[in-house]
Amino acid sequence: MSIVPEAQNVILVHGGFVDGSGWKGVYDVLRADGYRVTVVQNPTLSLAGDVAATRMALDAQDGPTVLAGHSYGGPVIPEAGNHDDVSALVYIAAFAPDKDESVNTLIADPAPGAPVPPILPPREGFLFLDRKKFGASFAGDLPDEEARFLADSQVPWGLEALGGTVTRPAWRTRPSFYLVATDDRMIPPPVQRTMAERAGATVTETGGSHAVYVSKPAEVAALIRRAAGAATA
């Protein structure tokens, strides 16, 4: 067995409808712990484009790197995660597709009674969440003012991003970790658990909305630190 040195680099990949600023709390905790942290401002226009943006960030690293993704960042990190510098993957309330899967295929058959995200009909190839329902669905554990800001600063989520398929999921060759948000109303917790189990991920659970990466930065950072110390054969 060869031991991969503990990763000192962390890359954070945001999901749909938001930008990288939501990672600020996690960034601050990890920086205080001595990690070099990069936040990818992936444009969420297409999976291929978001993978390319993440790989650019990976090319700038100087050794083992933990790649963490929230929500739609989940399909980005296993595709970009085959990069030689990636030592572990961390999913934060995220989609975790297998080969030939996309967000579209993962949400195609919701379980009876599962909460339905308030996604509006596409506009010119992009999706938005209903602003009035954004807080309850995406950010139920954030202060109203903060949830309203996220709703009013939404980033258009491209249909090509939802339809992009993963070709070679890096979780098959890298240690994976998953944080289940048990109060999530965007990706139901049972779905999160199923995807995490399939990926062979080490699972941690916490009470939190889909915006758990914003509301509980210390817990998210703790899981990333754990991934940074993971060894691979």
Q: Each residue of 129-164: pLDDT tens digit?
A: 999 999 999 999 999 999 999 999 999 999 999 999
CB of 130 closer than 8 Å to CB of 118: yes
pLDDT band at 114, cuts 50/70/90?
confident
Tell if the pTM clears 0.85, that is, is over it: yes
pLDDT average, residue stretch 65-78: 98
Q: Is the pLDDT of residue 110 over 90?
A: no
17 phi and psi angles, rounded to 5 deg: 75, -10
Q: Is 178 helix (H, G, I), strand (E, B) or coil?
A: strand
Residue 53 confidence (pLDDT): 98
Q: Which long-range contacts (CB under 8 A, 24 or more apart) does 122-130 make?
A: 122/159, 123/156, 125/158, 125/159, 125/160, 126/156, 126/157, 126/158, 126/159, 127/16, 127/17, 127/156, 127/157, 127/158, 127/159, 127/162, 128/17, 128/154, 128/156, 128/157, 129/17, 129/154
Q: Is the pLDDT of residue 1 over 60?
A: no
**What is the percent of the chain where pLDDT is above 90?**
92
